[in-house]
Amino acid sequence: MWPLPLKQILGVHSKTTNIAIYGEFGRVPLRVKILAQIVKFLYRPQLECKNENLTKFYQALTIEYSGKRFADIWSFIDNLKVDAQPPQSRHTVDSYTKKLKETFTDNLIDVWEKEINRFPKLEIYSMVKECFQCAPYLINNCDFKSRQALSRLRTSSHNLRIEVGRYLGQRRDQRICTICQNGDYEDEFHFIMKCSEYKEIRDGTFKKLDNCICMNGPTVLMRK
C-alpha cells in the first residue's frame, strides 16, 4: 500500500518515517504487488494466447520489455534469487509470481528490521515494536483520538522537544522540557512518566489502569 493513506488512518504527520508506518500495519510497499504484476504480464500472455495476431503483438511487447530499456527490472529480479524456475507453462506463472512475492517480502522485512534499529528517530519505535505485523491496538476497537495518540508516540510523530530539536539542529542535551522547567530532556519517557506538569493526569490514568487490571486481570495489559 501507499504510505500516505496509512498515515491518514493513523492520524500522524505526512513526513512520519515510512518504514515505521509499514511496520505498524505489517504491510509491505505496493512495489511488491507491482513487480508481481509485471512478471505476470511478461509471461502469461504469450503462454496463454491462442490468437496468432495477438501472439505476435505479445511477443513484440515481450521483446520490448526484455530489452535494454527494462534491464533494471530483470537485473532486480535476478538479484532477488527467487528459489523457483521461471515459468515454462501457463500453469506455473502463478506459483512463480507467488514465490517471487514471498522472496521480495522477506527481503524487505530483513531491511525493515535493520533500518528501525539504525534511525535515531525510531529509537522508541525499535523498543516497542517486536516484529513486522499489524499492531494489536490497530485491530482492537479503539477510537481515532486514542489510536492517533498511540501512533504518534510510537512513531515519534509528535511535537516533544526531542523531535522538534532534531529538526532545529539542536544537540540532544539542548532539547529541554519547556513545560516543567525541571531541566530534563523532553522525550517520550519524560512526557509520560516524569513531567511534573502532567502529574494530575498521570495519577488519574494510572488509577484507571489499576482498576482495569483488578477487573480484567493483568493479561489485558500484557497484550503486545
Residue ranges of alpha helices (H) inside the chain are 3-10, 18-25, 31-48, 52-66, 71-80, 93-118, 123-128, 136-139, 144-154, 161-168, 188-189, 199-216, 219-222
Closer CB to Zn ion, 118 or 199, in the complex: 199
Give least dist CB 177 to Zn ion, A. Answer: 3
**Closest among 154, 149, 151, 147 to 122, alpha carbons compared:** 154
Q: Does 176 bind Zn ion (CB under 5 A)?
A: no
CB 173 within 8 A of CB 191: no
CB 87 within 8 A of CB 114: no
Using CA atoms, how far apart are residues 49 and 54, in angstroms rounded to an integer? 7
Minimum CB–partner distance for residue 176 and Zn ion (Å): 9
Question: Shortest gap between Cβ of 153 and Zn ion (angstroms)?
Answer: 15
Nearer to Zn ion, 6 or 177 (CB): 177
Binding of Zn ion at residue 177 (CB under 5 A)?
Answer: yes
Residue that has been written with the C-alpha cell 527490472 in this structure: 73
Q: Is 162 a binder of Zn ion (CB under 5 A)?
A: no
Instruction: Decide whether 39 or 195 has the Cβ nearer to Zn ion.
Output: 195
Which one of 17-25, 47-55, 97-105, 187-195 is the stretch in contact with Zn ion (CB under 5 A)? 187-195
Size of the site for Zn ion (CB under 5 A): 4
Rounded alpha-carbon distances, angstroms, from residue 154 to 97, 120, 136: 34, 13, 13
Pick 37 or 181: Cβ nearer Zn ion:
181
Q: What are the backbone dihedrals phi and psi of residue 127, each rounded to the nearest 5 degrees, phi first?
A: -85, -35
Q: Can residue 195 be called a binding residue for Zn ion (CB under 5 A)?
A: yes
Candidates 180, 185, 202, 213; binder of Zn ion (CB under 5 A) is 180
Output 61 or 176, the one with its CB closest to Zn ion.
Answer: 176
Nearer to Zn ion, 84 or 180 (CB): 180
Number of residues in the chain: 224
Q: Does 179 bind Zn ion (CB under 5 A)?
A: yes
What does the binding site for Zn ion look like in residue numbers (CB under 5 A)?
177, 179-180, 195
